[in-house]
């Protein structure tokens, strides 16, 4: 029997380019929420070290060459790009791979674009940091693949609104830059 | 009239624009006001109440008179101050509040009726008959009195909101602000310097004085060059800081594209900033005030500082023959500058007997202006001295009554300023807004040298707060003479009204009348006279008005007090504040994975919270929603239907205490639920009212999956987090929303199993999936979760797949269902199906109903405690006096009715005293061929069989209905168990 057709959250929405700014979709990575079970924190941190990562402190992210784990809330982190091997029994795990639209915003002025939508001071936002905040009226998870670029996660169902709002801000920032 | 060799405008660049259809030209750097004055135009508008001809009075954002509409059609912006609007090629501006034209305004008749239009006129006159106020008087008055109007059409131009952060926000880029910014910037602090003008420099652009041995504007340019080159400085021109808020947050309005010809389509017109600053310096300068003398509102009567600004900055003489009227030395500067520029100064009238004797112009010491003439523009003034009266022909009168520090932002958190006798004005007190320090003229330091020093001092103090070392910054040489003011507010001799608030047409007479009628408090006077309530928010009139009030009530000014200032400092367009909220931008849209497939099938998508769900799926030939809905219902009852139920909340709950936690939040028991089974659960709020309901599946020994209603998904998540964190933080429970991860579809109807089996490699093992069973299956190569649950009363399943497969699965399921005589069904059919079964939604659990009310009191376990149990057992929350869930059938099946109708005893009068209950949900049941309703009826469960009177006063329905069991269809539930 033929396998069901797959669609990505931002299919037909991305990429968009505006001057030197681009917004594209990040697809394919497995995303697992990791929430340490009671008394298992130390063992969990050790198990994550084996994956080349660790347990992230609030507002931080830890990355290896192929995977990352980012703080997403009280006793909660998202493991991205790796299978949650060896974490069974140490943490409550849920598959979040399909629940989020993941986008990368790059180019000069990317921080200015997010300054239109996110109420955080992102000028110094750099790899190793993670933030949960709002993007317009949507809640979002932010990380920095490098300084000045942003990985943005919003609920999958809100992908269209998020793309629309980020694109709108990109156009406004580009128009200002062109003055 | 332009003066050769004066001003900072770019005389090489001519700019053409229109005002009231007439063509004008100005230069790059002109404001609408300066260009029109240069073109000899003194008449800018009509006053608010009396429709009196008015000209420009100031050169800044405090302008009360020269309000115009800029742009055309939907893009027109009303009430733009001509003093801040930069001209650009092709600018179209119109005057306001006049008909048919600015020169001849029919409503000027109001001015003749002025004796009747005193303060409180409307309150006294239009008292009776009461109903006439809203219907007749107010609309008439509103039409006659007024400002510019919006077009009433949707403006599609982009506006913007943004956030900014800094160590130090400097508000105002005059001498004090520039010095503060320079001091802080050199010390390495992150500085934002915001100024509302198109060009930074403040009064230094408007005066002829030197700073550091060079022209003021040259010093400004040097400082700006240095600041502009520093990476830690952000210069924000055309940006008015409009409000001071908690936590060091400031609102600011930036004009981004409103001054440009052919602004790019994507360029925001304005941006509303929220600037978060660790420290702030208020260097907003001061506003010159008028003196209240008879008929002081004619076009051509301006503040002395504005006359100077037009001359020195824009190279424009505001008149050919000018008089100056003042009570301080600063007024003399105006006369000196005019004389130096070759403009005739007829006289300087100084109220002080001991005014310094000038060279180059005539001084009338100890004189007062007691009258003016000139209908559309000043022609003549009357000057009275102890020795007699003199008429002087002038076309411009420059008035200086002293300067009021622009301390408004300092008052935004309810602080009150202090009276400074030396400058006869209020000054800010320290600490009125935490972290904000005023300096320069805003703090009452009125000399340039003083402002420069004060700016540096304020910056040094801020740097010390920020833990930074201040770098050495030298103070340039500058003017250091005082204004030697003698407080003088009002000319009491002469005939005619003396205006205080030009924008709202409030005169000294109005203030005295208020005092006479015992509105003696400054707050009462303000509201009675409307002084200070116009777009300029009293910037030009507050201090003079309270001085007159003080005089009228025999008190001193500090004793009289002042009204305070609230945000915004200047009018802020709603378009900027609400930027991003145009049209669908109002709220995020949440789309289900089957959205596109549903729209392709013609389904109208309706909002459910932020979600969009298909209402119904019309087929060719179906004319009404009801036809589609009825067909979809029968498809489910007779064959199979497919419905996207992904929007229901899904919460993954894990941990050794997960079962115990569910026992605590649900009224019924979940610890006894076997793995692979689903149970319906009821959840109460702390106060005993029903919070939500839904099913929870046990996926493993310590792993549950809760579903919530669509509307309450976020609410329930918050509730669970609260219960865990507040009541049982040491329990081993972890939860997270997985609503977005899974696309879930209901497959319901007698052929549901056949449909499912057609997609599986082997037929479903029925032993593994009994009614209320759950588990994992593989469907077309994808791992899925299957739940045998039903919200329709039919045999049914819900199947969940990772969201990436949602659209594919939906299309496949619907195609197969249709080949089996079934259909996709939407919200309408879903609603009918559940009403037929008496299943509740938030129409019934609306926050005021208990488990008892909905007939589920048996679900509240007696063996354990749960959230809301104790409160739910309070007297009055159960028993025959409660309105209880019942079914309603109209005695005549074809008679429909609406939700919201009320129930009465059969022969009772339908008035609220006899109210017995209300209808929550209604439908036409194609299954039972009758209208049905769910309702809450007093003691309803004991009244099955009784006929009640259903009355809907709103829709005009009045029909008899039989009270019945709310489960209308298949009350034994055999069909679902099958």
Question: B49-94 pLDDT, tens per residue?
Answer: 889 999 999 999 999 999 999 999 999 999 999 999 999 999 999 9
Q: What is residue B977's predicted lDDT score, i.e. its pLDDT?
A: 87
- A37 and chain B in contact, CB less than 8 A: yes
Q: What is residue B334's predicted lDDT score, i.e. its pLDDT?
A: 97
Domain end marker among A95, A119, A142: A95
pLDDT digits 0-9 by tens, A113-126: 999 999 999 999 99
Q: How far is A7 from chain B (nearest CA, A)?
A: 5
Q: How far is B777 from chain A (nearest CA, A)?
A: 14
Structural domain includes residue A5: no
Q: What is residue B103's predicted lDDT score, i.e. its pLDDT?
A: 83
- Shared-domain flag, residues A89 and A126: no
Structural domain includes residue A84: yes
Please name the member of A76, A92, A96 whose beta carbon is closest to the beta carbon of B741: A96
pLDDT digits 0-9 by tens, B15-49: 999 999 999 999 999 999 999 999 999 999 999 88
Cβ <8 Å between B805 and A6 = yes
Please name the member of A4, A97, A100 whose beta carbon is closest to the beta carbon of B809: A4
- Distance, in Å, from the CA atom of B288 to the CA atom of B57, rounded to the nearest integer, reads 10
pLDDT digits 0-9 by tens, B823-854: 999 999 999 999 999 999 999 999 999 999 99
Q: How far is B646 from chain A (nearest CA, A)?
A: 10
Angle at A157 between CA A154 and CA A160, to 5 degrees: 80
- Shared-domain flag, residues A156 and A125: yes
- Shared-domain flag, residues A56 and A115: no
Write out chain A residues lying below 8 Å of B164, CB-based.
115
> At residue B114, does pLDDT exceed 80?
no
Q: How far is B13 from chain A (nearest CA, A)?
A: 18
Cβ <8 Å between B161 and A155 = no
- Shared-domain flag, residues A105 and A87: no
Count of domains forming chain A: 2
Structural domain includes residue A1: no
What CATH number is given to the structural domain containing A68?
Answer: 3.30.70
> At residue B131, does pLDDT exceed 90?
no
What CATH number is given to the structural domain containing A24?
Answer: 3.30.1360.120
pLDDT digits 0-9 by tens, B431-450: 999 999 999 999 999 999 99
Question: Which residues in chain B (162-181) have CB-CB distances under 8 A to chain A?
Answer: 162-165
Strands annotated E in B689-829: 690-700, 703-707, 734-737, 742-748, 774-779, 782-787, 796-802, 823-824
The mean of the pLDDT values for chain B is 95
Q: What is residue B575's predicted lDDT score, i.e. its pLDDT?
A: 93
Which of B81-90, B139-148, B282-291, B346-355 has the weakest average pLDDT? B139-148
Domain end marker among A76, A95, A114: A95
Cβ <8 Å between A172 and B158 = yes
Structural domain includes residue A40: yes
Q: What is the DSSP string of B78-143?
A: EEEETTTPBP-TTEEEEE-S-SB-SSSBGGGHHHHTGGG--TTHHHHHTTSSTTHIIIIIHHHHHH
> At residue B618, does pLDDT exceed 70?
yes
Structural domain includes residue A10: no
- Shared-domain flag, residues A81 and A124: no
Question: Which residues in chain B (104-163) have CB-CB distances under 8 A to chain A?
Answer: 158, 160-163
Which domain does A56 fall in, by range? 31-95
> At residue B122, does pLDDT exceed 80?
no
- A35 and chain B in contact, CB less than 8 A: yes
Q: What is the value of pTM for the model shown?
A: 0.94
Say what percent of chain B tops pLDDT 90.
89
- B768 and chain A in contact, CB less than 8 A: no
Confidence tier at B268 by pLDDT (50, 70, 90):
very high
- Shared-domain flag, residues A65 and A129: no
- Distance, in Å, from the CA atom of B561 to the CA atom of B546, rounded to the nearest integer, reads 8
Structural domain includes residue A111: yes
Per-residue pLDDT, averaged over A62-66, amounts to 96
**Cβ contact B959:B890 at 8 Å:** yes
Q: What is residue B143's predicted lDDT score, i.e. its pLDDT?
A: 65
- Shared-domain flag, residues A154 and A109: yes
**Cβ contact A174:A162 at 8 Å:** no
Q: Which residue of A has its CA nearest to B805?
A: A6
Confidence tier at B98 by pLDDT (50, 70, 90):
confident
- Shared-domain flag, residues A111 and A160: yes
- B828 and chain A in contact, CB less than 8 A: no
> At residue A9, does pLDDT exceed 70?
yes
Structural domain includes residue A115: yes
Question: Which residues in chain B (397-426) have CB-CB distances under 8 A to chain A?
Answer: none
Structural domain includes residue A11: no
More confident residue, B106 or B458: B458
Cβ <8 Å between B588 and A137 = yes
pLDDT digits 0-9 by tens, B403-416: 999 999 999 999 99
Cβ <8 Å between A178 and B802 = no
- Shared-domain flag, residues A24 and A104: yes
pLDDT digits 0-9 by tens, B767-802: 889 999 999 999 999 999 999 999 999 999 999 999
Which of B209-218, B708-717, B756-765 has the weakest average pLDDT? B756-765
- Shared-domain flag, residues A113 and A89: no
Q: What is residue B561's predicted lDDT score, i.e. its pLDDT?
A: 86
Domain end marker among A59, A80, A95: A95
**Cβ contact B167:B281 at 8 Å:** no
- Shared-domain flag, residues A48 and A72: yes
- Shared-domain flag, residues A23 and A67: no
pLDDT digits 0-9 by tens, A39-52: 999 999 999 999 99
Write out chain B residues lying below 8 Å of A174, CB-based.
266
- Distance, in Å, from the CA atom of B79 to the CA atom of B411, rounded to the nearest integer, reads 25
- Distance, in Å, from the CA atom of B939 to the CA atom of B845, rounded to the nearest integer, reads 17
Q: What is residue A111's predicted lDDT score, i.e. its pLDDT?
A: 97
B8: buried, middle or exposed (CB in 10 Å: 19+, 13-18, 0-12)? Answer: middle
């Amino acid at each position: 029997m033929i396998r069901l057709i797959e669609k990505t959250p931002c299919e037909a929405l991305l990429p968009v380019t505006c001057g030197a700014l681009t917004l594209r979709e990040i697809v394919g990575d497995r995303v697992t929420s990791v929430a340490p079970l009671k008394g298992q924190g130390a063992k969990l941190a050790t198990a994550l070290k084996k994956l080349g990562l660790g347990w992230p402190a609030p507002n931080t992210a830890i990355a290896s060459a192929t995977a990352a784990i980012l703080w997403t809330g009280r006793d909660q982190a998202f493991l991205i790009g790796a299978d949650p091997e060896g974490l069974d029994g140490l943490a409550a795990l849920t598959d979040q791979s399909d629940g989020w639209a993941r986008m990368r915003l790059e180019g000069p002025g990317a921080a200015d674009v997010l300054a239109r939508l996110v109420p955080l001071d992102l000028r110094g936002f750099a790899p190793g940091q993670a933030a949960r905040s709002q993007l317009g009226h949507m809640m979002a998870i932010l990380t920095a693949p490098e300084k000045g670029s942003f990985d943005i996660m919003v609920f999958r169902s809100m992908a269209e609104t998020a793309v629309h709002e980020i694109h709108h801000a990109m156009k406004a920032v580009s128009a200002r830059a062109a003055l | 009239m332009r003066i050769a060799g004066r001003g900072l405008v770019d005389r090489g660049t001519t700019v053409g624009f229109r005002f009231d259809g007439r063509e004008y030209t100005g230069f790059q750097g002109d404001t609408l006001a300066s260009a029109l004055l240069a073109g000899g135009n003194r008449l800018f508008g009509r006053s608010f109440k009396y429709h009196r001809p008015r000209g420009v009075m100031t050169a800044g954002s405090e302008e009360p008179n020269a309000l115009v509409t800029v742009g055309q059609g939907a893009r027109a912006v009303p009430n733009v101050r001509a003093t801040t609007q930069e001209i650009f090629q092709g600018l179209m501006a119109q005057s306001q509040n006049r008909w048919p034209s600015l020169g001849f305004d029919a409503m000027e008749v109001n001015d003749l009726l002025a004796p009747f239009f005193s303060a409180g006129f409307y309150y006294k006159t239009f008292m009776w008959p009461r109903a006439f106020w809203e219907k007749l008087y107010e609309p008439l008055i509103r039409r006659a009195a007024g400002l510019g109007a919006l077009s009433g059409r949707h403006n599609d131009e982009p506006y913007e909101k943004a956030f900014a952060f800094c160590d130090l926000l400097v508000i105002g880029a005059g001498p004090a602000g520039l010095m503060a910014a320079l001091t802080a910037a050199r010390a390495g602090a992150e500085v934002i310097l915001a100024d509302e003008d198109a060009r930074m420099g403040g009064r230094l652009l408007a005066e002829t004085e030197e700073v550091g041995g060079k022209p003021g504007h040259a010093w400004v340019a040097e400082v700006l060059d240095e600041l502009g080159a520093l990476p830690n400085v952000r210069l924000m021109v055309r940006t008015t800081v409009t409000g001071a808020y908690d936590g060091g947050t400031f609102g600011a309005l930036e004009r981004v594209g409103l001054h440009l010809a052919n602004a790019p389509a994507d360029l925001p017109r304005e941006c509303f900033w929220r600037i978060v600053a660790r420290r702030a310096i208020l260097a907003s300068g001061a506003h010159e005030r008028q003196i209240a003398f008879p008929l002081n509102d004619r076009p051509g009567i301006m503040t002395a500082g504005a006359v100077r600004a037009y001359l020195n900055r824009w190279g424009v003489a505001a008149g050919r023959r000018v008089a100056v009227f003042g009570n301080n030395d600063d007024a003399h500067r105006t006369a000196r500058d005019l004389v130096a520029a070759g403009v005739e100064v007829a006289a300087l009238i100084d109220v002080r007997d001991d005014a310094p004797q000038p060279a180059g112009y005539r001084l009338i010491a100890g004189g007062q202006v007691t009258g003016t003439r000139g209908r559309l523009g000043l022609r003549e003034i009357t000057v009275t001295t102890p020795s007699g009266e003199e008429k002087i022909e002038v076309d411009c009168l420059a008035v200086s009554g002293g300067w009021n520090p622009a301390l408004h932002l300092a008052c935004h958190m309810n602080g009150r300023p202090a009276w400074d006798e030396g400058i006869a004005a209020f000054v800010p007190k320290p600490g009125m807004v935490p972290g904000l320090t005023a300096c320069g003229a805003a703090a009452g330091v009125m000399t340039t040298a003083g402002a420069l020093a004060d700016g540096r001092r304020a910056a040094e103090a801020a740097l010390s707060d920020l833990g930074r070392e201040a770098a050495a910054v030298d103070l340039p040489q500058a003017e250091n003479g005082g204004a030697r003011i003698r407080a003088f507010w009002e000319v009491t001799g002469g005939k005619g009204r003396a205006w205080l608030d030009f924008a709202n047409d409030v005169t000294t007479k109005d203030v005295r009348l208020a005092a006479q009628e015992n509105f003696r408090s400054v707050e009462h006077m303000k509201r009675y006279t409307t002084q200070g309530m116009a777009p300029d928010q009293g910037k030009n009139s507050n201090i003079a008005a309270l001085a007159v009030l003080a005089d009228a009530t025999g008190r001193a000014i500090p004793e009289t007090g002042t009204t305070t200032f609230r945000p915004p400092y200047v009018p802020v367009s709603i378009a900027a504040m609400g930027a991003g909220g145009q049209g669908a931008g109002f709220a995020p849209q949440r789309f289900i994975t089957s959205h596109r497939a549903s729209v392709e099938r013609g389904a109208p998508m309706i909002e459910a919270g932020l979600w969009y769900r298909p209402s119904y799926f019309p087929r060719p030939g179906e004319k009404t929603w009801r036809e589609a809905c009825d067909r979809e219902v029968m498809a489910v009852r007779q064959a199979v239907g497919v419905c996207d139920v992904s929007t229901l909340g899904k919460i993954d709950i894990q941990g050794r205490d997960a079962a115990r936690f569910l026992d605590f939040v649900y009224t019924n028991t979940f610890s006894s639920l076997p793995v692979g089974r689903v149970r319906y659960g009821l959840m109460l709020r702390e106060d005993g009212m029903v919070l939500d309901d839904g099913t929870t599946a046990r996926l493993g020994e310590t792993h549950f999956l809760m579903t919530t209603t669509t509307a309450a998904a976020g609410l329930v998540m918050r509730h669970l987090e609260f219960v865990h964190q507040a009541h049982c933080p040491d329990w081993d429970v972890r939860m997270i929303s997985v609503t977005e991860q899974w696309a879930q579809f209901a497959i319901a109807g007698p052929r549901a199993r056949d449909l499912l089996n057609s997609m599986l490699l082997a037929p479903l093992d029925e032993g593994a999936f009994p009614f209320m069973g759950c588990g994992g299956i593989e469907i077309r190569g994808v791992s899925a979760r299957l739940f045998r649950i039903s919200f329709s009363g039919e045999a049914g399943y819900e199947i969940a797949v990772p969201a990436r497969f949602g659209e594919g699965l939906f299309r496949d399921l619907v195609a197969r269902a249709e080949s089996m005589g079934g259909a996709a069904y939407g919200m309408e059919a879903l609603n009918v199906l559940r009403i037929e079964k008496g299943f509740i939604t938030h129409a019934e659990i609306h926050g005021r109903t208990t488990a008892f009310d909905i007939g589920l009191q048996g679900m509240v376990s007696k063996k354990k405690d749960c959230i809301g149990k104790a409160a739910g057992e309070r007297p009055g929350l159960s028993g025959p006096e409660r309105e209880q869930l019942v079914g309603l059938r109209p005695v005549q099946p074809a008679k429909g009715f609406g939700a919201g109708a009320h129930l009465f005893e059969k022969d009772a009068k339908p008035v609220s005293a006899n109210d017995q209950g209300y209808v929550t949900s209604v439908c036409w049941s194609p299954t039972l061929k009758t209208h049905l309703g769910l309702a809450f009826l007093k003691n309803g469960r004991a009244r099955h069989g009784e006929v009640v009177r259903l009355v809907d006063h709103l829709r005009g329905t009045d029909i008899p209905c039989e009270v019945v069991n709310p489960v209308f269809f298949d009350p034994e539930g055999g069909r679902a168990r099958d």
